[in-house]
Structure 1
């Protein structure tokens, strides 16, 4: 069974609403975008991994902006140019992004290879995958061409609002947690748990793919 939050899917009620819309509807699509981000554990897990060890506001802005640019590009271009991929495989790749970031936080790549990729490039690249996943989900719905661009931009802005809300909570909690004398030890276990969560997401989506999912 695939739960909506885990599969980062669009609920049936929201899908029916989207399919019934004719013309620009910025406010409802703004809400749907924000809801989609806040309830999508794959995006939330990845964002937690990205900001986990970032202490300076400037660094948080840079990394989140790169992620935002990446998924905004593929969300808009994907839908407007009708570019989509298998929904299960792209969601498995999004799960992989969670595993990658958690493993990097644990110093895994430096221990194995002596260095790691430029995380700014990696975050931007995974942002592209996240946006393509969103675009693929939206294309599965029968969206009216009338007002499509306005609705897409509104959905994307909603995603960014949801992202900011998630980050405000996550960064606030991390700042409190860092005051603990045992933060470094706990951080290791937290990133191991984050990596395991990514593997669960990968397993679920690959199971859906091999079970015959062709969407």
Structure 2
């Protein structure tokens, strides 16, 4: 149980800490088009991201795959740029029109998982309870994502329903902000390739 708690904390910090801006931006990008009433869809979306993240992490810990850290660190903001860009072209916010987001979250979760895999692999490889450790990390990651998403959905609710800002304008504002920060992050990281 100590391993689970320790790795839960690592997963939580992986999303909540100030050093986790890239993951927070990705969550903001995938959640930008949703409102509080869409919480079930968003929960499935962040779970798809966690599944992708977990799969890459598990494969890395078992030493099935290895990734070049610099490329991964560059690709992470690129995934955010792509996700935020796709939001800018959304006209309708029906479940059918945004179904692609589940695949985006799953696929880009694989890339984001690569980013942390290089750091956590040595730690997890030494532990006897790899399953418990990975489970703890992923539950902590999911809990952190849910908190970030809840804050974003409450903010969207306030802006759209209380301040009467058009939903599309909110999506454009948040997505453009995320896009800008992510482009800056990608340009900073391209030099290390």
TM tier relative to shorter chain: 0.7 to 0.9
Q: What is the TM-score of this pair, normalised by structure 1?
A: 0.74
Q: Within the alignment, does 1:43 sit opposite 2:28 as a pair?
A: no
Distance across 2 between alignment mates of 1:91 and 1:77? 18
Superposed displacement of residue 130, structure 1: 1.1
2:55 is aligned to 73
User: More deviation in 26-35 or 115-124?
Assistant: 115-124
* Match of residue 185, structure 1, among 150, 157, 169: 169
* Deviation sequence 1:158-211 (CA, Å, 0-9, x none): 11121112112121111111122334435423321210111122122222x24x
Equivalent-residue separation in structure 2 for 1:201 and 1:140 (angstroms):
27
Q: Secondary structure at the match of 2:114?
A: helix
Unaligned runs of 5+ in 1: 1-22, 109-114, 211-215
Partner in structure 2 of residue 107 of structure 1: 89
Counterpart CA distance in 2 for 1:58 and 1:160 is 14
Instruction: Report 1:1-215 matches (<5 A).
Output: 25-39=3-17, 40-55=20-35, 56-107=38-89, 118-139=100-121, 143-179=125-161, 180-183=163-166, 184-207=168-191, 209-210=192-193
Structure with the larger RCO, 1 or 2 (CA within 8 Å, 6+ apart): 2
Which structure shows the higher helix fraction? Answer: 2
Structure 1 residues 80 and 190: alpha-carbon distance in aligned structure 2, compared to 1, 3 A threshold: same
CA RMSD of superposed structures (Å) = 2.5
Give deviations 1:58-88, integer Å, cap 9, x for gaps. Answer: 3212322221211111111221235221112
TM-superposed CA distance for 1:45, in Å, is 0.6
Contact 2:48 2:102 in 1 (8 A): yes
The structure that has the greater radius of gyration is: 1
Deviation at 1:120, TM superposition (A): 2.2
> Relative to structure 2, which stretch is displaced further, 117-126 or 127-136?
117-126
Residue 117 to residue 202, structure 1, CA distance change in 2 (3 Å): farther
Q: Which residue of 2 aligns with 1:5?
A: none
Count of residue pairs the alignment pairs up:
181
